[in-house]
Structure 1
Amino acid sequence: MLPSAFQAARALATTRVLDAPDLPETLGVLHRDPVANAFVATRVESVGLDPWRLGGEMWGWYDENGSLESLCYAGANLVLVNAGPEAVRAFAERARRQGRRCSSIVGPAGPTAALWALLERSWGPAREVRAHQPLMAATTPAVSVTPDPLVRRVRKNEVEAVMPACVAMFTEEVGVSPLAGDGGLLYQARVAELVGAGRSFARFTADGQVVFKAEIGAVTQGACQVQGVWVAPEHRGQGLSVTGMAAVLDLALREVAPVVSLYVNDYNLRARAAYRRVGFHEVGAFMSVLF
């Protein structure tokens, strides 16, 4: 049911676009849950709240006492942070009025499901809805798995070598090629950025082919988030994802952050089992709406 004009006006009155003076309060909200908020927090910690540098707007929701309690990152993704029912309704109204500009909605499963229920009529249909994606975390290295000694950081001169694996992973995971649209310029720049930052890891064959790879896509003061885990199809079933992730986990804990997280599709039972063997355990759930 569409909100009344009064309800819509009230919802908008509790939200506004945040800017530089709001940074301390914004970080305070983000740091309440470093694992769940890693994606948004890494952007804000790096560049602040300037929309041009952030790649989108940060919306804030204020409670009746005037305290900033919830956030919504509105960029290429729409991401809720610490959003209760009232905040979800307010953000939905702002998003509905603005119109869809994002390629996906991603965030904690409960609030994201509520947000999508309010937006589906005007924003739908979605290309795909992934309603339950376990959020997993680890704070200690793998104890029952020996890390793959051949997994290492991808070197800056190996961007072209790792790119086909990145494209294959993205296409397999998302269902569309990252090379569509702009010819892959933005995606290739992102891959190069992660390689340059030392956050891309892979195992190469003697002839330079990638058989396992993963990246650390988000890094904050309290946690980091692994993404893009992939094993070449012809090498699957050999346990490379287990030993490879054990190596990435060990490197990440020693050199990046005290907590390592990731989220995975609930139907990917093999991946979930592999992550559990390495030492990851479920700490929540995400939901993704793909357009």
Structure 2
Amino acid sequence: MLTQPTTRVLEPRELDAARAVLDRDPVTNAFVAARVRAAGLDPWRLGGEMWGWYADGRLESLCYAGANLVPVEAGPEAVHAFADRARRSGRRCSSIVGPADSTALLWSLLEPSWGPAREVRRRQPLMVTSALPSGVRPDPLVRRVRKDEMDVIMPACVSMFTEEVGVSPLAGDGGLLYQARVAELVGSGRAFARIENGRVVFKAEIGAATALACQIQGVWVDPEYRGRGLSETGMAAVLRYALADVAPVASLYVNDFNTAARAAYRRVGFRETGTFMSVLF
């Protein structure tokens, strides 16, 4: 029995305990919960380690350490423990992302050894809805992307990623991992778009999904079509699929400086319930 606070890599047999931590806030924890749901706790299948922080022998907090470093249900003591482990391991992630308070503390502890970051986005409102909008008609032309449309959707995905993150997803491995992720979303029926004459004018994906909540990502409108309300009607259409087929609650997080997007999401029925933070390397 563990009696002193400690942190270690979780073992597959601790899956139920990890799920119990994630289920404390299924909306905020949707990203990590979806990965655990799909892969369990095996590091190879999970794409990283799951660190656990224990107090009085009980698993209280998690930290996913893969391509992203994500603190989960982590108070100050747990964050300090995760930061110590991360420093010893060295930086292997491309970003730190999670609830703003725990992520800000984690970054303050890691910045002296991991910094500088390429960009720090300290306030990204988490927006949530569980109902279809009453005042916005879903775009009837938004539909699931077919598997044979990968060559159509990929340029839009690359443009969105580059615009949002500030670097191209094609760097490094030539985009193989990114293309595989897009193909996974298309193949699972969680990629949506309005396509006109072979050109994507609106797109979005349901990036993380559990039985309790899902997270919409990659919302993008072709620059030539912006200002026409396509983000609102398109999001209403994606929500129709999400709430009917995936989970009873849908969420997303958005940069605080993107006032146009925040206003559009509010018109579609999203409300701000929390704040995320991202550190990009």
Question: Is the TM value for this pair above 0.5?
Answer: yes
2: CA distance, partners of 1:111 / 1:75: 17
Residue 108 of structure 1: aligned partner: 99
Give the whole-Å Cα distance in 1 for the aligned partners of 2:90 and 2:261: 35
**Which of 171, 183, 195 is the equivalent residue of 2:186?**
195
Candidates 203, 207, 224, aligned match of 1:234:
224
Q: Is 1:244 the counterpart of 2:226 in the alignment?
A: no
What SS does structure 1 have at the residue aligned with 2:277? strand
Deviation, structure 1 residue 13 = 6.2
Any stretches of 5+ residues in structure 2 without a counterpart?
none
8 Å CA contact 1:142, 1:250 repeated in 2? no
Q: 1:26 aligns with which of 3, 18, 31?
A: 18
1:177 aligns with 2:165: no
With the length of structure 1 as denominator, give the TM-score of the two structures: 0.95
1:56 aligns with 2:56: no
Aligned mates of 2:23, 2:37 — CA distance in 1: 10
Which residue is 2:208 aligned to?
218
In percent, how many aligned pairs have the same letter?
74
Secondary structure of the residue aligned to 1:150 is coil
Between the aligned partners of 1:288 and 1:264, the Cα distance in structure 2 is 11
1:80, 1:220 → 2: CA distance? 18
State the secondary structure of the residue aligned to 2:173: helix
TM-score by length of 2: 0.98
Hey, what's the Cα distance between the residues in 2 that align with 1:19 and 1:157? 39
Runs of at least 5 residues in structure 1 that lack an aligned partner in the other structure: 1-11
Q: Deviations over 1:128-164 (max 9, x none)?
A: 0000000011000011100100000001111110000
Q: Give the alignment partner of residue 28 of structure 2, picking from 36, 49, 54.
A: 36
Number of matched pairs: 278
Equivalent in 104, 109, 115 of residue 118 of structure 1: 109
Q: What's the secondary structure of 2:35's corresponding residue?
A: helix
Which runs of at least 4 in structure 1 moved beyond 3 Å after TM superposition? Answer: none
- In the aligned structure 2, how far is the partner of 1:99 from the partner of 1:200? 34
Amino acid at match of 1:21: R
Give SS of 1:285's match: strand
Measure, in 2, the Cα distance between the counterparts of 1:252 and 1:189.
22
Distance 1:55 1:13 in 2: 26
